[in-house]
Structure 1
Amino acid sequence: MSAAVRPPGAADLRSEARGRPLADLALEFAWRQQRVSRAEIARALGLARSTVSDIVGTLLARGLLREGPEGPSRGGRRPVLLEFRDDAAAILGAELGASHVAVALTDLRGRVLAWRNRDHPVRTDPEGTVALMIELMDACRIEAGIGRGRLLGIGVAVPSPVNPSEPDRLPEVVLPAWRGHSGMERVRAHFDVPVLVDNDANLGAIAEQWWGAGRGVEDFTYIKVATGVGAGYVIRGEIYPGATSVAGEIGHLSMDPAGKPCVCGNRGCLATMIGTPALVEHAAELLPEYPTSVLAGGPISIGSLLDAALADDPLASAVVEEAATRLGVAVAGVINLMNPAAVIVG
């Protein structure tokens, strides 16, 4: 996925015009303003009105813009305002976790039209994962009444680094059962739209940048804690992928060289200490020390562990506090190395 994903203002759009299609810039400006005149587009992008007229004609013909009411006059004829059509198309997004598949269908404003989530052994069942992803995508599309012809594209978040030159090859070190392939060619063939694949932490950072706590922040770090631990770095408004697109793999920082083995081949990685499987395992190890814990009544899951922690159960609280301390140590290292303006944990 392109690193140039920052949500720009008008000045940013003008500075970024070189190398980007003018129609894309005009459409992005209209998306951000929601209702805009041709003259405002011309001023924002520094374009001649005749050029803007041609661009707008194309976008109107494609159904991405529509003419709305007249705007206020500045001394001449009242301008006809252009409205961005949020419902002109739809976008599918999928998150492949280690043990679940989540799918959402949104309009062009990012509003969720349909949603599905199902547990699945993603790490060990690539064929079943891809089939389930397609099934859930079709279910969302049908629920929202969206035909395939209205799909603009698909984005897929995966729990591993992604090489932008080979986005369909996932690293075997992290996902050995996938043998270096993501199966996205099946998704492309089924829906016949572009499919973009990127690391889940990077996409989480982009989401925070557009809609969350990262709005208006030029430099921040987003940390995703789930089965594993990853980070997305936003530097000067853009995702920083690193030389080989593996920046942000803080889950594989070795916190204890003599610790438990990790899937990456090292020992004592942060993910082996604070990932969700590690928390459940640690709670089970400590259970004999807390015989009155509410967790003593049956098998421990991450859900029951977090519920117990929210209820101030001593065992659950001890596990979460220890994990938070370890995460804090790692975050302190990130702050010292990267000097972000903000750290967002999700």
Structure 2
Amino acid sequence: MKPILGITMGDPSGNGPEITIKALMKPEIYERCRPVVIGDAVCMEAAASMVEGADGFRIHAIRKVEDAVFAFGTIDVLDMGLVDVSKRLYMKDWKEIEEEVGEEAVKKAYLESHRMCGEAAFQYVKKVIQLAMDGTVDATVTNALNKDYINLAGHHYSGHTEIYADYTGTSHYTMMLAHENLRVVHVSTHVSLREACDRVKKERVLEVIKIADKGCRALGIKNPKIGVAGLNPHCGENGLFGREEIEEIQPAIDEALALGICIPERKPTPPDTVFSKALGGWYDIVVVMYHDQGHIPLKVKGFVYNQERQKWDAVAGINVTLGLPIIRASVDHGTGEGHAGDGSANELSLMNAMDYAIRMAEAKITN
């Protein structure tokens, strides 16, 4: 049986609806899985009208997953009915609306739109988690939401990862980013750089090494090789400029080695070389110490801007939350506020996320 994928529509004023349409216009998706969108049918219909070639596809609004037809040419949408499209505003329309109604009126209208879209995006995520927890869907895939908007709607989370952890009752988890053969997992993510340094503790580093090993095995990698990045330049040069490698990271590595986890170099690797080694096949995954240490190399590799054409040729890479009792893969980009609503968003990252979710679901079913 092909796995059922629950795909959240993302922020209704973002690029999620249109890239979801583009992804589900590809027949190979239906050859590998049974996709159902968690969102608002009216938003998906509006997105289909702006995507070239989508006029022959039917948006099928359903109330429960069991009513989905899972057939190419029909896009099943579990319709939450949360968005009034007459009040949904795209950021690209700001200037035009401002000229019509004035600055203060447009600010008020956008505030109302942001709050509505934040509430809707949050509820889509909450619903797909519920569907995965009760076994209705085999894996979840999330489009981007706007953190400011969900907080404006009264849901105080810093992102998808924290929502998933809360609603699944998970305390030990981490974010994995991946693009092709480069994968990274984080000791900390959405905190200040100062706080991130303070969070480099033996217990947390060891925990993430274990999660990295388990996550690779969930992808079908039988004997994962793990690289562990240092925190400081040159890994601190034996304590000359930082002792985190000596006092926290190396003890975590030693304990992981004692558990039989494969860390080929048996010590932390300088951050300025660890990713080149990973791309060269030294490791299957790299444990990084903070958000940007992992995000920057992934996005340098996966995000390709064409200066001549003034557009993105590729927005690739995915985000997987490891350590959860359910499968969650996500796009590794934002809502694309400046261009959302014009049909130009690139669906490659969503396609990659769906691929990872399918692979993890198949491995879970097999095991």
TM-score in same-fold range (> 0.5) = no
Q: Answer with 1 or 2: which has the greater Rg.
A: 1
Higher helix proportion (structure 1 or 2): 2
- Taking structure 2 as the reference length, what is the TM-score of the superposition? 0.23
Name which structure has the greater RCO, CA cutoff 8 Å, separation 6+. 2
